[in-house]
């Protein structure tokens, strides 16, 4: 959720009841249980809806039950200036249409009069979540899975990422995403650096730590040449954004609010940098997960081409991750939380400085 007061979930429940009733005006009315709310942060908000339709809702006369998930923009200021739910829904349709385990939306409702905000509505998929806000490499269900199960998840995760990157971006279906307009000119990366530099200025509210301005300059002066070919990008590539089935396969891929078009290296480097910081924080990796070099080799084979200047992409990933942390720190400061951690002991700042110097 955002930094303002939490949503009135009872009012939201009544709003969803009215919306669902309007979708079936001649049928029996829905009954919604109290809305569930998973752990939330400063980005989009997820609500869990359990809906029972009265007898007669279906041809067999039995009560029908639906488990739904609604995704809403943050209630207040969030990590990003714009939350385009329609774009997220279109990406999910693209990925699901490619035969990958994305959840095709049931509806994208942009009228905020129903529940107080636009929303993306999806069927709920069963699966376990890797809690990225916890030391999941050391404790929790994934750490307790045998090494062969961990390896199966990691391999499946790379398969999923490669599947997204192999979706055709030349047929116009991705032209609504950031980076698409620059694809034909071969200047996607320069545009991405400019876009994130603008984000950093907005996020920092006029007070940008020097390590980030130095990193922006570093990225601008060392752009990979030639620029790698463009792919559809997931954006926030991390284990916390998939649902994991009991057999350690991936049941669903989540969270496309950072989706764009650009070189696949942008996604891979994001995953590698975030995972490296998690390994450093936890004091070691899972026994079933391959090391950095093995992961890079395995992904290169899946992508079907050599990876370009991965160091540049990892610096840029650390810069982007750090910029989001700057925004989070500023939001928390408004709540009275000390944000001095941003420049003291912040793993992103430390890693960014190391990558730029190395």
Count of domains in the chain? 2
pLDDT (tens digit per residue) in 289-339:
999 999 999 999 999 999 999 999 999 999 999 999 889 888 888 878 776
Taking alpha carbons only, the member of 15, 97, 80 closest to residue 43 is 80
Q: Is the Cα torsion angle 141, 346, 197, 225 positive or negative in sign? A: negative
Q: Are residues 291 and 331 in the same domain?
A: yes
Q: What is the pLDDT of residue 23?
A: 85
pLDDT (tens digit per residue) in 139-177:
999 999 999 999 999 999 999 999 999 999 999 999 999
Note whether residue 1 is domain-resident: no
> What's the CATH number where 322 sits?
3.90.1200.10
Q: Are residues 134 and 118 in the same domain?
A: no
Which residue range(s) make up the domain with 171?
A: 128-357
Q: Are residues 142 and 259 in the same domain?
A: yes
Q: Are residues 22 and 170 in the same domain?
A: no
Q: Are residues 56 and 138 in the same domain?
A: no
Across-strand partners of 107?
121
Q: Are residues 278 and 168 in the same domain?
A: yes
Q: Are residues 162 and 223 in the same domain?
A: yes
Note whether residue 160 is domain-resident: yes
82-216-305-296 Cα dihedral, nearest 10 degrees: -90
Q: Which are the contacts of 134, defined by CB distance < 8 A and separation ≥ 6?
A: 140
Q: Are residues 100 and 158 in the same domain?
A: no
> What's the CATH number where 118 sits?
3.30.200.20
Distance of CA 42 to the CA centre of its chain: 13
Q: Are residues 134 and 119 in the same domain?
A: no
Q: Determine contact, residues 53/64, Cβ cutoff 8 Å.
A: yes
Q: What is the pTM of this model?
A: 0.93
Q: What is the pLDDT of residue 58?
A: 43
Distance of CA 287 to the CA centre of its chain: 25
* 3-class secondary structure, 129: strand
* 3-class secondary structure, 109: strand
Average pLDDT by stretches of 10, the chain with 358 residues: 66 96 79 85 85 62 80 90 95 98 96 96 96 90 98 98 97 95 89 96 88 94 95 97 97 96 98 95 95 98 97 97 90 78 72 86
- 108-144 burial, b at 16+ Cβ within 10 Å, e below that, comes to bbeeeebbebbbbbbebbebbbbbeeeebbeeeebee
Distances (CA, A) of 201 to 81, 207, 213, 214, 273: 12, 8, 10, 13, 22
Note whether residue 304 is domain-resident: yes
Q: Are residues 25 and 164 in the same domain?
A: no
Q: What is the pLDDT of residue 128?
A: 96
Q: Are residues 227 and 97 in the same domain?
A: no
Q: What is the pLDDT of residue 59?
A: 44
Taking alpha carbons only, the member of 3, 2, 22 closest to residue 114 is 22
């Amino acid at each position: 959720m955002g930094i303002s007061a939490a949503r009135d979930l009872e009012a939201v429940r009544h709003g969803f009841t009215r919306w669902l009733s309007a979708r079936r005006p001649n049928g029996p009315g829905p009954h919604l249980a109290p809305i569930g709310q998973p752990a939330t942060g400063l980005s989009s908000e997820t609500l869990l809806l359990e809906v029972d339709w009265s007898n007669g809702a279906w041809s067999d006369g039995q009560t029908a039950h639906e488990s739904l998930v609604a995704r809403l923009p943050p209630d207040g200021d969030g990590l990003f200036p714009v939350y385009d739910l329609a774009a997220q829904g279109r990406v999910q349709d693209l990925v699901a249409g490619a035969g990958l385990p994305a959840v095709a939306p049931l509806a994208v409702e942009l009228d905020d009069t129903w529940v107080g905000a636009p929303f993306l509505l999806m069927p709920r998929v069963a699966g376990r979540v890797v809690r990225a806000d916890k030391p999941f490499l050391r404790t929790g269900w994934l750490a307790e899975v045998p090494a062969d199960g961990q390896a199966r998840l990691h391999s499946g995760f790379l398969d999923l990422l490669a599947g997204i990157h192999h979706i055709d971006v030349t047929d116009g279906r991705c032209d609504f995403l950031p980076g698409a307009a620059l694809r034909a000119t071969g200047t996607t990366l320069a545009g991405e650096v400019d876009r994130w530099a603008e984000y950093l200025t907005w996020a920092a509210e006029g007070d940008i730590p020097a390590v980030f301005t130095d990193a922006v300059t570093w990225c601008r002066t060392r752009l990979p040449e030639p620029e790698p070919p463009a792919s559809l990008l997931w954006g926030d590539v991390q284990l916390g954004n998939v649902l994991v089935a009991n057999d350690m396969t991936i049941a669903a891929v989540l969270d496309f609010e950072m989706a764009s078009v650009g070189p696949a290296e942008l996604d891979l480097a994001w995953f590698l940098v975030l995972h490296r910081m998690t390994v450093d924080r936890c004091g070691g990796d899972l026994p079933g997960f391959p090391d950095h070099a093995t992961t890079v080799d395995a992904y290169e084979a899946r992508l079907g081409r050599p990876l370009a200047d991965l160091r540049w992409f990892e610096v840029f990933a650390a810069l982007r991750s750090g910029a989001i942390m700057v925004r989070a720190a500023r939001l928390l400061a408004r709540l009275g939380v000390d944000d001095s951690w941003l420049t003291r002991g912040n793993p992103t700042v430390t890693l960014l400085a190391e990558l730029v110097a190395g």
